[in-house]
Amino acid sequence: MHIYFSGVGGVGVGPLAMIAQDADYAVSGSDTHESEMTLSLQARGITVQIGQDGTQIRAVQKEKAIDWVVYSSALPDDHPELLFAKENNIKMSKRAEFLNHFLAEKNLQMIAIAGTHGKTTTSSMLVWLCNQLGIQISYSVGTHLSFGESAQYAPGSHFFIYECDEFDKNFLEFQPHISAITSMDYDHPDTYPTQAEYTQAFATFAAQSAHLVAWKHTAQALGVAQSANATVLDEADPGIQNIELAGRHVRQNSWIASQVGHLIFPKHSVTSFAGLLKGFPGSRRRFEQLAPGIYSDYAHHPVEIAATIEMARELNRNVVVVYQPHQNVRQHEIIRESAYRYCFTGAKKVYWLPTYLSREKKDLPILSPTELLNSVTADIQTEYDEMNDTLWQKIKAHADHGDIVVAMSAGDLDDWLRTKVTR
């Protein structure tokens, strides 16, 4: 079977291409621009076309007939590649349908890690634990791992670890063997117009799971109690405090990973899993050190921002933040909830960049940096900046002075910073 992945450079679709190749499918794909993911796929021998005006998929079809087009949720209905697939009667689906087909074909049980924050780190930790114990595992994680590929299919494995995101209601397409919810704070207003709808989606996801692992406050919000089908965790558990990792939320993520690991492989205790995690090398863009004193983090939700600053302050009290807001539609919701007001507490200074625009509502006015900056409490020193050499010089000066600089972004700030650091 030849599968064509449209939007293959994304962290949701790209890993599926890796899995499909591991399983000996014929694989090709396209994206609008070159990225680290497209380069990784090309290094594996996968044909990746850059450009999506329709000519690319036609060229691939001429070389070898396409059986299935798997496409990113970001693609509009009138996208040239989707129109081509319709015109040529090629099967089309979003990633969930393909993944369910794959799991059934390979007889794999899904271990789903969901949550507003922490799912990437927790998924990565669980994969790393399996590697340390020599356990064959298949997985898909929405980041580049320092210790392996973003995804893999391991013949002979019984479980599939999946970073299961709630955007576009993706996680509602699955019936996992075990699910963990790392956190639950309202997000993705483009998919869930209200907080009630967001919470209900998680409740449905929990009900579809054979076994659920969640913190007590999350379980209570979802109406779930400790039972044979649910492991309810207490954030005050002393075992969490004994974990030798920086950052309260990182320690909590590691506790969830350890609990899930024990459920999958009962002969290994929760504490033994947690002990192994002191050697966890970390995940890309999750408080990742790019240079001395300079870090990159995926934080773009106010809760994530506060948690990352808290973690950084465990290492150095002088924390400087370079922040790139993500999605104008999200900014409207954040401003409405006054969520920026205190989340930067503890930062020495915040350099505020223009909002990274993605999947926007055309009729929604773009909030200016001034409007966003005015929502931050007055005792936080803030400054509006652009991604240019002047900002880079400021970042270097802070790092040279002994500060910790954390670039927080789900957009292109990370790529820009990596380019500067490697020059």
Domains of the chain: 2-93 (3.40.50.720), 107-279 (3.40.1190.10), 288-422 (3.90.190.20)
- For residue 10, what pLDDT is reported? 87
Q: Is residue 246 scored above 80 in pLDDT? A: no
Cβ neighbours for 240, distance < 8 A, ≥ 6 positions apart: 251, 252, 255
Distance CA 96, CA 189 (A): 21
Question: What's the pLDDT score for residue 65?
Answer: 97
* Strand 212-215 relative to strand 230-233, pairing: parallel
CA distances from residue 293 to 250, 305, 404 in whole angstroms, order as listed = 19, 18, 5
Distance, CA of 378 to CA of 112 (rounded, Å):
41
DSSP 8-state code for residue 265: S
- Residue 321: which H helix or E strand, with range? strand 319-323
The region of weakest confidence among 38-52, 62-76, 140-154 is 140-154
Q: Which pLDDT tens digit goes with each residue over 83-122?
A: 999 999 999 999 999 999 999 999 999 999 999 888 988 9
CA distance 100 to 356: 32
Does 45 score more than 90 pLDDT? Answer: yes
Q: What are phi and psi of 166, to 5 degrees?
A: -90, -10
Could you give the CA distance from residue 168 to residue 173 in angstroms, rounded to a whole number?
10
The first and second tokens of residue 297, run together, are: 């983090």
How far is Cα 264 from Cα 60, in angstroms, rounded to an integer? 41
Using CA atoms, how far apart are residues 131 and 142, in angstroms rounded to an integer? 18
The confidence score (pLDDT) of residue 360 equals 77
pLDDT at 230 over 80: yes
Looking at residue 394, what DSSP letter applies?
A: H
User: pTM value?
Assistant: 0.77
Residue 356 tokens, joined = 């990274």
| Sign of the dihedral through C-alpha 115, 120, 121, 126 | positive
pLDDT for 47: 94
User: For 247, which DSSP code?
Assistant: S
What value does the mean pLDDT take over residues 242-253? Answer: 84
Q: Report the pLDDT value the prediction gives residue 370, as an integer from 0 to 100.
A: 84
Q: What is the pLDDT of residues 344-394, one digit of tens each?
A: 999 999 999 999 988 778 888 999 888 888 888 878 899 999 999 999 999
Instruction: Tell me the Cα Rg of the chain.
Output: 21
Give the burial class of 278: count Cβ atoms within 10 A of its Cβ; 0-12 exposed, 13-18 middle, 19 or more buried: exposed
pLDDT at 377: 80
Residue of 119, 155, 126, 109 whose CA lies nearest to 12: 119
- Rounded to an integer, what distance in angstroms lies between the CA atom of residue 27 and that of residue 347? 46
Pick the closest to residue 388 from 414, 366, 417 (CA basis). 417
What is the pLDDT, as a whole number, of residue 261? 94
- Say how far apart CA 210 and CA 109 lie, in whole Å: 11
Assess contact for 295 and 405: CB atoms under 8 A: yes
Q: In this predicted model, what pLDDT tens digit does every residue of 265-319 receive, in sequence order?
A: 999 999 989 888 887 877 677 788 899 999 999 888 888 899 899 889 988 999 9
Strand locations in 44-194 (E):
47-50, 68-71, 91-94, 109-114, 138-140, 151-152, 159-163, 178-181
pLDDT digits (tens, 9 = 90+) for 117-150: 889 889 999 999 999 999 999 999 988 887 888 8
Position 396 confidence tier, pLDDT thresholds 50, 70, 90: very high
